[in-house]
Each structure stands twice: as structure tokens, then as C-alpha cells.
């Protein structure tokens, strides 16, 4: 099958569903193409550093068509140059467009209609953050963004099928966009088992590298740390935890978080207990996870849950989040520092409890590898 994935960003070194799905499908013998822009996803980059070379290249047997783009109007509204011609030249059997909120998905749906290529659009998210927690300026920005809703609605209504990445999206799509239930197919996010796995030797080596003793407990938060991921809550908790608790902050901070005076002061005060790693490949993330003891997500749900689970690390995440993780005793209430603190103490209250949570995490991950999810997608493509 000739499969075309369409996405705004495509940076294999960072992982993400777009790359892992394409890689697994190519491994299974399919002819896999990706159309993407040459824009990088890191919002802290400036000038030419924001862009990758615009060219065609082969990565992990994937034919990558990286197109130049116009200056971005907003985070997901990026316009690639030459999309239609590239699509026509590839002439795929199926198009898999990633994230309905991206303008590239609208292009995939719009131009494929003329050529009668079937298009599947996956739904990664429809807004992680609860709107009642937005401040006045953010509410204003949210209203301005409603202008772009036309493109999202067009994409959702004109795609052949919608591949939803978490079951609660079905209810939201039906409520907000009046989508027929038969149009939606569940294919949950996964993790790359070639990269993420439990390894005691890796754990020992990485903890030695960072000067971590056997008695110290390591919390970790990772990814692109935007304001709504609430690093401030984790720092509040670290202040209250015993000194043997340390924190990995793995990933870059957005400007709002980086320039927050309160966060800056706390990070300086806790500098002896914080280990910062800004940029790293997925292999390095696996090392950091193996060296850690628990992941903390005080105000969002991330695919990092799966990556951590594959390594056997319990995760603490908000109870309002999507129900994708079967450890109800380690959910917390949004923005409550005390509740997060209590859950950390609970996980480490005995070796038996910690081991139980580890086993739950590993069993959960066993059902969610990208190799399995990529094959499930082939079955979905064939239902069109």
C-alpha cells in the first residue's frame, strides 16, 4: 500500500506519533511518504535555526518531502509551498493527515477531494486545558482563534474517517461538530518499543552519570514544557519533599514559563536538587526515564505516560484527564499541590506498593506499542 502521512512538523529525533507510525508501516513493507513543512517545532528557535533544509530525503525507509513554508500565522496554521504538486506526484492509495487543527490537514482534505484520494484525519486533541482556567488575555486569544475554526470544521466534516486517539474525543466531536459515530474509529496513541524499554544497566549507568545515589528518588517531567503543564506546582512540591528527592526537567520551556519570576526564583533556590536537560534524542529520554522513579503530570495528560510505562515507571496525572491510564490511586486534582504531594508519598510508602504500580504500568504499555498500532491502522485504511 502507498501511504502518505501529512503533518506540519516531522522531526524523527523527537519521536512523536507521526514518525513512529510511518516507520513501523515502512518496516512492514508499505511504500510510505510524508509531506511536511521545513519548520521546526521548538518555539524558542529564532531566524534560520527555526527551519530544516527543504528537500526530499529518506529516513528509516520513509520518503520525506519537506516543503518550504510561509511565515506562520499561529502555532498550527503553517502554509507549505507546493503541497498540491507534491501530492499529485505521490498519488497515494491513502492519506493519513495528523491533527485536525493543523492547516496541513485542511490542505490534505481539500486537494484530495479533487483527486478522490481517501483521507483519514486523526484527532490528537481538541484542547488539553480547561477553558475556565484561562486568564482574560488567553480568553481573548481563544476567541480570536475561533476565526480558524472554519478550517477545522471543514477538515473534520470532509475527511473520510476520523481516527481518534482517546475515547473521550468521540463525545467531544459529537457534541461540538455533530460528527456521526460511524465516522470515528479508535486507534490510541502508542510508544516505540525499539526505543523505550526497562534496563537496569541503563538505569545504573545514567544515575552514575548524573551523580544520583541509590537512596535518592527522582521525579521527572519531560517534553515541551508550556505554561499549562504547571511546572510551578512541581517546584512547590519539591520544596516540601525531603532532600533525597530530586527532579529531572527534561525539555525546553516556553517563553512564558522561562520568564516567570516565581518559577525562576524557585529553580534557583532548588538548583542543587534539579537536573536540567534541554535537548535530547529519544534514546537519551529512555536513559533518563530508566534513571527516574516516578513521572509527574500535575495539569495535563501526555503520551509520555506510555513511554514511562514501557520503562516501568509509575505516573501521577490529573483526574480530569482522559482515562487512558489504569492507576486510579495515583490521579490528582488539578492545581492542588497538597494532593500531588500525598500521591508521591503514597507511591513510596512501601516497596510493595511501588512494585504494584510498576507492574500496572508495564502491563498497560504491553498493549500499546506502535508496531501493533501501525498494523491496526492498515486495517482501518482498508475499511474505507
In a domain, 195, yes or no: no
CA–CA separation, 329 and 342 (whole Å): 11
Same domain as 335, residue 207: yes
Could you give phi then psi for residue 96, rounded to 5 degrees?
-115, 105
In a domain, 49, yes or no: yes
Count up the domains in the chain and report the number: 2
C-alpha cell at 343: 500521591
In a domain, 149, yes or no: yes
In a domain, 52, yes or no: yes
Radius of gyration of the chain (CA): 21
* Res 131: pLDDT: 41
* Res 68: pLDDT: 96
* Res 327: pLDDT: 43
In a domain, 159, yes or no: yes
* Res 126: pLDDT: 58
Same domain as 124, residue 68: yes
* Res 337: pLDDT: 72
Consecutive H or E run containing 66: strand 62-67
Same domain as 150, residue 231: no
Per the DSSP assignment, residues forming a β-bridge with 51 are 39
Same domain as 209, residue 133: no
**Residue for grid cell 506540519:** 8
* Res 323: pLDDT: 44
Could you give phi then psi for residue 186, rounded to 5 degrees?
-85, 125
Same domain as 104, residue 23: yes
Between the alpha carbon of residue 5 and those of residues 28, 67, 90, 380, the distances in Å are 16, 14, 11, 14
C-alpha cell at 34: 510524508
Between the alpha carbon of residue 255 and those of residues 47, 77, 225, 261, 264, the distances in Å are 16, 20, 10, 12, 12
* Res 277: pLDDT: 93
Same domain as 285, residue 182: no
Could you give phi then psi for residue 62, rounded to 5 degrees?
-105, 130
Query: 73, 46 in Cβ contact below 8 A?
Result: no
In a domain, 22, yes or no: yes
C-alpha cell at 304: 509520555
Instruction: Show the domain range for 178.
Output: 2-190+369-382
Please, what sign has the CA dihedral across residues 85, 89, 90, 92?
positive
The CATH number that applies at residue 325 is: 3.40.50.2000
Task: Provide the 8-state DSSP code for 252.
Answer: P
In a domain, 59, yes or no: yes
Sheet (strand 62-67) strand order: 56-59, 62-67, 31-37, 2-6, 94-98, 119-123, 161-164, 184-186
Could you give phi then psi for residue 46, rounded to 5 degrees?
-130, 160
C-alpha cell at 142: 481563544
Same domain as 35, residue 157: yes
In a domain, 266, yes or no: yes
Q: Which residues contact 86 (CB under 8 A, 6 or more apart)?
A: 35, 65, 67
According to DSSP, the β-strands at 56-59 and 62-67 are antiparallel
Same domain as 214, residue 151: no
- Residues present in the chain in total: 384
Return per-residue pLDDT of the chain as tens, 384 residues.
999 999 999 998 877 889 999 999 999 999 999 999 999 987 777 888 889 999 999 999 999 999 999 887 766 689 999 999 999 999 999 999 999 989 999 999 999 877 789 999 998 765 433 444 445 555 555 555 667 788 889 999 999 999 998 777 888 899 889 999 999 999 988 888 888 999 999 999 999 999 999 999 999 999 888 888 889 999 999 999 999 999 999 988 888 888 999 999 999 999 999 999 987 888 899 999 999 999 988 877 677 888 999 999 998 877 644 444 444 444 444 446 778 888 899 999 999 999 998 998 888 888 888 888 999 999 999 986
Same domain as 66, residue 122: yes
Same domain as 114, residue 86: yes
Same domain as 280, residue 214: yes
CA–CA separation, 148 and 156 (whole Å): 13
Collapsing DSSP to helix, strand or coil, 263 comes out as helix
List alpha helices for the chain, DSSP H: 17-27, 83-90, 103-115, 136-145, 149-158, 168-177, 200-209, 231-240, 255-258, 261-269, 282-291, 304-311, 337-347, 351-366, 370-382
Residues 218-251 as b or e (16 or more Cβ within 10 Å = b): bbbbbbbbbbbbbbbbbbbbbeebeeebbbbbbb
Same domain as 49, residue 182: yes
Residues 306-338 as b or e (16 or more Cβ within 10 Å = b): bbbbbbbbbbbbbeebbebbebeebbbebeebe
Amino acid at each position: 500500500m502507498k501511504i502518505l502521512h501529512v503533518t506540519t512538523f516531522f522531526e524523527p529525533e523527537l519521536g512523536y506519533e507521526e514518525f513512529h507510525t510511518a516507520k513501523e508501516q515502512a518496516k512492514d513493507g508499505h511504500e510510505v511518504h510524508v509531506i511536511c513543512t521545513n519548520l521546526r517545532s521548538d518555539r524558542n528557535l529564532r531566524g534560520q535555526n527555526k527551519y530544516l533544509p527543504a528537500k526530499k530525503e529518506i529516513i528509516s525507509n520513509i520518503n520525506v518531502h519537506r516543503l518550504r513554508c510561509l511565515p506562520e500565522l499561529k502555532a498550527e496554521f503553517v502554509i507549505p509551498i507546493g503541497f498540491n504538486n507534491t501530492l499529485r506526484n505521490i498519488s497515494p492509495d491513502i492519506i493519513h493527515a495528523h491533527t485536525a487543527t493543523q492547516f496541513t490537514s485542511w490542505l490534505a482534505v481539500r486537494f484530495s477531494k479533487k483527486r478522490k484520494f481517501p483521507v483519514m484525519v486523526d484527532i490528537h486533541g481538541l484542547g488539553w486545558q480547561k477553558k475556565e482556567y484561562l486568564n482574560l488575555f488567553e480568553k481573548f486569544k481563544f476567541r480570536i482563534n475561533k476565526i480558524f475554526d472554519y478550517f477545522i470544521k471543514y477538515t473534520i466534516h470532509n475527511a473520510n474517517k476520523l481516527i481518534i486517539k482517546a475515547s473521550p474525543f468521540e463525545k467531544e466531536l459529537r457534541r461540538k461538530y455533530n460528527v456521526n459515530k460511524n465516522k470515528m474509529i479508535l486507534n490510541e496513541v502508542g510508544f516505540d518499543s525499539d526505543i523505550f524499554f526497562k534496563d537496569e544497566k541503563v538505569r545504573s549507568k545514567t544515575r552514575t552519570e548524573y551523580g544520583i545515589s541509590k537512596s535518592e528518588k527522582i521525579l521527572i517531567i519531560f517534553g515541551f514544557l508550556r505554561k499549562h503543564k504547571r511546572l510551578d506546582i512541581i517546584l512547590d512540591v519539591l520544596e516540601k519533599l525531603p532532600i533525597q528527592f530530586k527532579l529531572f526537567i527534561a525539555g525546553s520551556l516556553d517563553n512564558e514559563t522561562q520568564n516567570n519570576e516565581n518559577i525562576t526564583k524557585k529553580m534557583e533556590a532548588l538548583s542543587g536538587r534539579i537536573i536540567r536537560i534541554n535537548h535530547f534524542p529519544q534514546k537519551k529520554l529512555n536513559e533518563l526515564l530508566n534513571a527516574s522513579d516516578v513521572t509527574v503530570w500535575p495539569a495535563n495528560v501526555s503520551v509520555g505516560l506510555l513511554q514511562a510505562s514501557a520503562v516501568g515507571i509509575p505516573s501521577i496525572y490529573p483526574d480530569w484527564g482522559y482515562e487512558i491510564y489504569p492507576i486510579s490511586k495515583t490521579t490528582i486534582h488539578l492545581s492542588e499541590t497538597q494532593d500531588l504531594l500525598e500521591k508521591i508519598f503514597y507511591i513510596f510508602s512501601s516497596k510493595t506498593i511501588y512494585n504494584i504500580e510498576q507492574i500496572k504500568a508495564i502491563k498497560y504499555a504491553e498493549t500499546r506499542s506502535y508496531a501493533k498500532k501501525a498494523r491496526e491502522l492498515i486495517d482501518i485504511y482498508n475499511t474505507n
